[in-house]
């Protein structure tokens, strides 16, 4: 017999069985325990086999045979992606020191990162998103003919992307579309809303008071969803806007004209559309405004793209560094530290930040970053060091930067269809004059 974690270790160190979709279904779904008499016909080393008295896995010496997993609990999955376990280098060579990790994180490292990059990439023991892989590839990929032992080659990148596509086959097993809480309103939210409306009576012409009211309702909803796994994993800003309109209050609506007072609709959609004249008109205008923004207004993004390309088309990126000693100062925090990757920051001299791990050391500090604002290259040129190491061999890279600005405008108008979030921001007078 063997324990669950001993069996998992065999699978991770073997690295072949975890490349089969059937393995994930066997291990991360609730199996129906029944005697499987035909397991030898499709036997794969280390795959799971059900029997009436529990789960077994296939082992082989001279011939295939079954070994029982001793601590499997009936009517539960064998493993859970969120389960934490202790691992060390005997599990995976990329694990430098003994540490606690989630099975899901371990699986992605073993299935994708280690087979592609081996010792080039250390074990990532945190939530791994698509952006995590994108940032890794963007900062480390080099052409095969110039890549060093520490760089990621194009061939390795392609293999990584191919392996990532495998995860889409597991979506029906892993993704949680909804839970009872995500499709229901918080307890007593109707009574709480009535009480708050009395508190803010006569004040809801003021946008600040509307934000205060919505924030108090949102706090109730956040507490209701506090330990709900679906809200943590799948809720985006768009989802929260929709949920606010559905269960909390419809909120402020958009219009083609700027009103003297806020265009507020109180009843949430769960109570049905309000057919009162003062509300129904707001629903219609809000939908029309969102549709118009998503359609006609996106032309402004294309228009801005043409203007930016014309204004910047004469600029090029020079492969020769300038001699600037001045940079742009920025406070580094958890949200922007990764933008330091492949940029030069000032220590005693300019230092290149190669990875996001190196960038983390600047969190909480004010950093002077080499910038095109202070580039001393003469003529219609900006040196690559002031732009980014990414543009070293890309003389026309400024065109791409201009396109990113217009993309932001297009995205802004596209998102108007899904509603807007009204927030109150405290402005420091120093920000306006310095």
Antiparallel, parallel or unpaired: β 381-383 and 316-318:
parallel
Q: What is the mean pLDDT of residues 260-274?
A: 84
Average pLDDT along the chain? 87
Place 433 in a pLDDT band, splitting at 50, 70 and 90: low
Q: What is the mean pLDDT of residues 264-281?
A: 87
Model pLDDT, residue 422: 61
Q: What is the mean pLDDT of residues 282-287?
A: 86
State yes or no: pLDDT of 414 exceeds 70: yes
- Of the ranges 126-140, 262-276, 371-385, 408-422, the best mean pLDDT one: 371-385
Q: What is the mean pLDDT of residues 396-413?
A: 79
Model pLDDT, residue 354: 83
Q: What is the mean pLDDT of residues 269-294?
A: 85
Place 403 in a pLDDT band, splitting at 50, 70 and 90: confident
Place 418 in a pLDDT band, splitting at 50, 70 and 90: low
Model pLDDT, residue 421: 62
State yes or no: pLDDT of 262 exceeds 80: no
Per-residue pLDDT tens for 139-186? Answer: 788 888 888 888 899 999 999 999 999 998 888 888 877 889 988 999
Model pLDDT, residue 423: 63
State yes or no: pLDDT of 279 exceeds 90: no
State yes or no: pLDDT of 261 exceeds 80: no
State yes or no: pLDDT of 241 exceeds 80: yes
Sheet bearing 328-331, strands edge to edge: 328-331, 366-369, 344-346, 350-352
Per-residue pLDDT tens for 315-357? Answer: 899 999 999 999 989 999 988 888 888 899 999 899 999 877 7
Q: What is the mean pLDDT of residues 276-303?
A: 84
Model pLDDT, residue 434: 58
More confident residue, 263 or 214: 214
What percent of the chain is modeled with pLDDT above 70?
Answer: 96
More confident residue, 99 or 410: 99
Per-residue pLDDT tens for 25-66? Answer: 999 999 999 998 888 888 889 999 999 999 999 998 888 999
Per-residue pLDDT tens for 201-236? Answer: 888 888 888 889 999 999 999 999 988 877 877 777
Per-residue pLDDT tens for 61-119? Answer: 888 999 999 999 999 999 999 999 999 999 999 999 999 999 999 999 999 999 999 88
Model pLDDT, residue 260: 65
Q: What is the mean pLDDT of residues 368-396?
A: 89
Query: Is the model's pTM score more than 0.75?
Result: no
């Amino acid at each position: 017999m063997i324990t669950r974690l001993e069996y998992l270790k065999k699978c991770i160190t073997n690295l072949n069985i975890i490349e089969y979709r059937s393995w994930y279904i066997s291990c991360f779904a609730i199996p129906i325990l029944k005697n499987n008499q035909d397991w030898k016909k499709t036997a794969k080393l280390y795959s799971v086999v059900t029997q009436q008295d529990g789960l077994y896995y296939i082992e082989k010496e001279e011939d295939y045979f079954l070994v029982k997993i001793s601590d499997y609990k009936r009517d539960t999955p064998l493993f859970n992606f969120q389960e934490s376990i202790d691992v060390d280098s005997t599990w995976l060579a990329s694990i430098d020191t003994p540490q606690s990790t989630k099975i899901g994180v371990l699986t992605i490292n073993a299935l994708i990162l280690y087979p592609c990059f081996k010792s080039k990439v250390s074990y990532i023991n945190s939530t791994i998103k698509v952006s995590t892989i994108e940032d890794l590839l963007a900062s480390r990929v080099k052409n095969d003919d110039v890549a060093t032992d520490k760089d990621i080659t194009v061939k390795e990148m392609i293999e990584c992307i191919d392996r990532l596509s495998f995860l889409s086959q597991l979506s029906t097993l892993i993704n949680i579309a909804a839970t009872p809480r995500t499709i229901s309103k918080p307890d007593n939210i109707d009574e709480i809303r009535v009480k708050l409306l009395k508190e803010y009576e006569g004040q809801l012409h003021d946008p600040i008071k509307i934000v205060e009211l919505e924030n108090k309702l949102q706090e109730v909803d956040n507490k209701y969803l506090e330990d709900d796994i679906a809200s943590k994993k799948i809720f985006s800003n768009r989802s929260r806007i929709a949920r606010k309109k559905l269960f909390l209050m419809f909120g402020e609506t958009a219009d083609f004209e700027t009103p003297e007072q806020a265009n507020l609709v109180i009843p949430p959609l769960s109570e049905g559309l309000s057919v009162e004249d003062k509300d129904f008109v707001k629903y219609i205008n809000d939908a029309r405004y969102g549709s118009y923004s998503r359609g006609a207004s996106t032309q402004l993004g294309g228009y801005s793209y043409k203007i930016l390309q014309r204004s910047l088309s004469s600029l090029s990126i020079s492969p020769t560094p300038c001699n600037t000693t001045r940079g742009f100062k920025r406070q580094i925090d958890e949200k922007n530290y990764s933008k330091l990757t492949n940029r030069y920051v000032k220590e005693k001299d300019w230092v290149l930040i190669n990875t996001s791990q190196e960038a983390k050391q600047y969190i909480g500090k004010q950093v002077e970053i080499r910038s095109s604002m202070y580039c001393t290259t003469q003529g219609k040129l900006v040196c690559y060091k002031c732009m980014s190491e990414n543009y070293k061999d890309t003389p026309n890279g400024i065109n791409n930067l201009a396109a990113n600005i217009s993309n932001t405008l297009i995205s802004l108008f596209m998102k108007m269809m899904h509603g807007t979030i009204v927030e109150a921001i405290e402005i420091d007078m120093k920000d306006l004059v310095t």
